[in-house]
Amino acid sequence: MTDAVENAGAAQPTTGAARGVTSVSDEVVEKIAGTAARAVPGVADLGGDVSRFFNSVLDKIGLDEVGDARRGVSADVKGSSAVINVVLVIDAGHVVADVTEAVRAAVIEAVEKYGLTVTQVNVTVDDIELNQPGAAAGA
């Protein structure tokens, strides 16, 4: 008899590795990280100039939800580790170092809640938002 037939009635191991592999796509991590970064005070928007331009065009033609969840964020997931890059626009009047450290901490916390290990969060400040509501009222 073969081992498969002999062991057919034996209890199988219950560890995850014995029953399959779980992987998390880059896109999922990008959405989690983008949501966390947007929630940080001082973050006006995510994405570089080109992605924000295309997003504004999509907004004007009624496709305002397309690409928003991942815009400005890229992730490279290998196994259970992730390297995340965030491109953001900060609100005028906020200290860049404070905002970027808060973004880094928020992204790490959010992604690691899903069982992944974040090895790096690289933050690029691409622009500053000068047109804040109420800013012109004092002028």
How much is the pTM?
Answer: 0.71
In this structure, the number of other CB atoms found within 10 A of the CB of residue 5 comes to 8
pLDDT tens-digit map of 76-96:
999 999 999 999 999 999 999
Per-residue pLDDT band for 101 (boundaries 50, 70, 90) equals: very high
pLDDT of residue 137: 44
Mean pLDDT confidence for 21-40: 94
pLDDT of residue 47: 84
Q: Taking the C-alpha atoms of 107, 113, 117 and 123 in order, what is their torsion angle to the nearest 10 degrees?
A: 0
Burial of 54 (0-12, 13-18, 19+ CB in 10 A): middle
Gap between the Cα atoms of 88 and 38, Å rounded: 9
Gap between the Cα atoms of 25 and 107, Å rounded: 16
Does residue 69 surpass a pLDDT of 60?
no
Does residue 25 surpass a pLDDT of 90?
yes
In this structure, the number of other CB atoms found within 10 A of the CB of residue 67 comes to 14
Tell me the CA distances in angstroms from 127 to 31, 36, 52, 57, one per residue in order: 21, 19, 11, 19
pLDDT tens-digit map of 36-67:
999 999 999 888 654 544 455 445 555 555 45
